[in-house]
């Protein structure tokens, strides 16, 4: 080997220090992000996957027995002529509630921004809960 190749390699002590720093950083990341990732897995992804699994069952809620039917429920839903009406009603409800909530929030913010008698009390009652 050439002397240049030997001189560019880090000495064993430096490699060990870098490795320790890397593992310490990984440990700090796991300590800080681990609880959040665990909560995300438990409260977001687990219910999402269970919902997908339950959608592939022929099951009535009161029944003790559930039969796995795969994508049969999806095939039935896409072939049902009522599905388009259901999607339209859901979209209409979603748009109306989101727009309504935003309009009420904006109106409340504009009202609480004016200099009116009792504004401090109303702000306290509104934001305290």
Q: What average pLDDT does the segment 24-46 reach?
A: 95
In a domain, 98, yes or no: yes
What is the Cα–Cα distance from 28 to 46, expressed in whole angstroms?
26
With respect to residue 75, please indicate whether it lies within any of the assigned structural domains.
no
Shared-domain flag, residues 47 and 88: no
Q: Helix 119-127 vs helix 83-113: angle between axes, to the nearest 10 degrees?
A: 140
Query: What percent of the chain lies above the pLDDT cut of 90?
Result: 64
- Does the pLDDT of residue 4 top 80, yes or no? no
62 and 97 housed in the same domain: no
The yes-or-no verdict on residue 72 having pLDDT over 60 is: yes
Judge if 85 and 124 occupy the same domain.
yes
Task: For residue 66, count other CB atoms closer than 10 A to its CB.
Answer: 13
55 located within any domain: yes
> Containing domain of residue 9, as a range?
1-69
Same domain, 63 and 8: yes
Domain assignment of residue 74, yes or no: no
Residues 55 and 26 in one domain: yes
Residues 102-112 as b/e (b if ≥16 CB within 10 A, e otherwise) read eeeeeeeeeee
**Res 2: pLDDT:** 52
CA–CA gap between residue 37 and residue 16 (Å, rounded): 30
Give the rounded distance of the alpha carbon of 59 from its chain centre: 27
Position 64 in a domain: yes
Q: What is the pLDDT of residue 74?
A: 95
Q: How many domains does the chain have?
A: 2
pTM above threshold 0.85:
no
In a domain, 110, yes or no: yes
* Residue 68, beta-bridge partner list: 57
């Amino acid at each position: 080997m050439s002397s240049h190749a030997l001189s560019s390699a880090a000495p064993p002590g430096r490699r060990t220090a870098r490795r320790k720093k890397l593992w310490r950083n990984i440990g700090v990341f796991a300590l800080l992000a681990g609880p959040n990732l665990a909560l995300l897995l438990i409260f977001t992804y687990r219910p999402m996957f269970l919902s997908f699994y339950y959608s592939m069952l022929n099951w009535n809620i009161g029944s003790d027995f559930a039969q796995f039917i795969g994508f049969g429920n999806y095939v039935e839903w896409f072939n049902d002529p009522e599905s388009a009406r259901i999607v339209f009603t859901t979209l209409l409800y979603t748009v109306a509630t989101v727009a309504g909530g935003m309009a009420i929030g904006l109106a409340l913010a504009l009202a609480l921004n004016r200099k009116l008698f009792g504004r401090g009390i109303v702000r306290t009652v509104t934001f305290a809960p």
